[in-house]
Structure 1
């Protein structure tokens, strides 16, 4: 197991470098000049702009800038924001906690509600509740997240007054409830459908007929034999969905006025603060890679036939 983990960690290095290099090049290709944007509409001496670029290292070749950035990242330095002159690591630490809180609320809702709905529908395939689940999940997949967000805000906040329409600087759990459900809606639909399909397929497996023939309790048959084998594709999706929730929170944060990563990326793109965007994406890439490793290790827990040499 230890050798497998070490090998996977080594495999993460080229993936990490490739993904961060790609976003770095994409930000470099965007039109505009972050140094020139500081002055707004005012006239600025080109010599001053050139001097500031030289000070920030923006006059060097792009690959040299990237190599310097990666070297600093491994030392915990994500660079400095041009507009505020604050360390980007400090800016990220200010914005990420609320996004992580939102993502964890959404992830918990996805795991509990998605797997439960999929189990209920999968145990009775082609029944009324099964068709109802498929119709509901298809609706959630088809409707864009911003439509779901604005609809939920209009109905539950402005019409019924059940929850606050926006989230404060220090959000409480009731303020985060509706944004988390909106953020989770798309992933919940996929998890429910994956669970339902996997449950329905494994119900016809030989090991299930053997468990029933041995006279095992129904709770043990479903909870141990059926669920453990059916959750492997679901766990795979959930592992990659953690990073998606953090990145996909941009739209949800905009709708509910959440001061998290979404607002940070939006402002950074507006000022062409490429280093800030790259720093945020770097953290998301790290989350993706670690979640992928954890998912691979969970396979052996769910399925005893899987062993890592």
Structure 2
């Protein structure tokens, strides 16, 4: 196991470098001058422009700027925003909010998605199965921003059950509605995936053997069926955490959640390369670590899986 983890960590190095390089190039080869854009339509002093380009490194060749960025990154320096605040400090304020929102969405996705999928799989071919299928297809066919505005209109504006905007991003209770909207699409996919794996494993030989031995139905379903059926679901959930963080751009904008989504959107508007690359760099690290944890979780769910 230790050798496998070490090998995976070494494989992350070229993936991390390649991903940050692609993002850095994509941000910095866009047309336009982000330093000049700080003045908008107003005239800018050439001396001030030159001084700011030198301060933020825009007077250097692109390759040298990337090397400088990576050297600073390994020292924990993500650079500065155009407002001269450290990017690490800005991300330190925004990331906990998005992580809380992601945690709420993930819990909702796991409880409702796996619950509905397991129920439909155990009742395959019956009315419950058909109802879950119809529900999941409806959710999948509706864009996230439509679901967000619809949920806010019905639950906040019409019924008044919740506030239309999040006032306190540290409160988990206020993050339930945006978390539910963020989880809706993935929840539908998890329900369908769980339903399929449950229905397939119910027909497997080991299930017939467990039933023939006279084991209690609760044990057969809760131990044998559930653990084997969750392996593909765990894979999806692991990759979906990164999707939650990226998808928070839309959800946080709808509900005024001051997280990474708003930070990234503001950075894109102002062409703050250090902010955008810094946020995406942390995204990459989180996704790589989550994928490693998911692979290790396979051995917990299925004892037959061993890592040499």
Q: Same fold by TM (over 0.5)? A: yes
- Residue 143 of structure 2 is matched in structure 1 by 144
2 CA distance for matches of 1:184 and 1:283?
Answer: 21
2 CA distance for matches of 1:51 and 1:225?
Answer: 67
Q: TM-score, normalised by structure 2?
A: 0.97
- Residue 7 of structure 1 is matched in structure 2 by 7
- Residue 276 of structure 1 is matched in structure 2 by 275
Q: How far off its partner does 1:280 sit?
A: 0.6
Aligned pairs (5 A) from 1:61-210:
61-82=61-82, 84-210=83-209
Q: How far off its partner does 1:170 sit?
A: 4.1
2 CA distance for matches of 1:28 and 1:107?
Answer: 34
Q: How far off its partner does 1:220 sit?
A: 0.9
- Residue 284 of structure 2 is matched in structure 1 by 285
2 CA distance for matches of 1:59 and 1:6?
Answer: 40
Closer, same or farther in 2 for the Cα pair 1:171/1:159, shift >3 Å?
farther
Aligned residues: CA RMSD = 1.1
Report if aligned partners of 1:163, 1:174 keep a CA contact under 8 Å in 2. no
- Residue 217 of structure 2 is matched in structure 1 by 218
- Residue 51 of structure 1 is matched in structure 2 by 51
Report if aligned partners of 1:268, 1:277 keep a CA contact under 8 Å in 2. yes
2 CA distance for matches of 1:293 and 1:172?
Answer: 30
Give 5+ residue unaligned stretches, structure 2. Answer: none
1:154-188 per-position Cα deviation (integer Å, ceiling 9, x unaligned) = 11111111111110144433321111100000010
Q: How far off its partner does 1:72 sit?
A: 1.3
Greater than 4 Å deviation, 4+ residue runs: none
Q: How far off its partner does 1:32 sit?
A: 2.2
Q: Tell me which moved more, 234-243 or 53-62.
A: 53-62
Task: Look up the SS of the partner of 2:112 in the other structure.
Answer: helix
Q: How far off its partner does 1:37 sit?
A: 2.0
2 CA distance for matches of 1:151 and 1:191?
Answer: 22
Report how many residues are paired. Answer: 308
Give 5+ residue unaligned stretches, structure 1. Answer: none
Report if aligned partners of 2:169, 2:257 keep a CA contact under 8 Å in 1. no
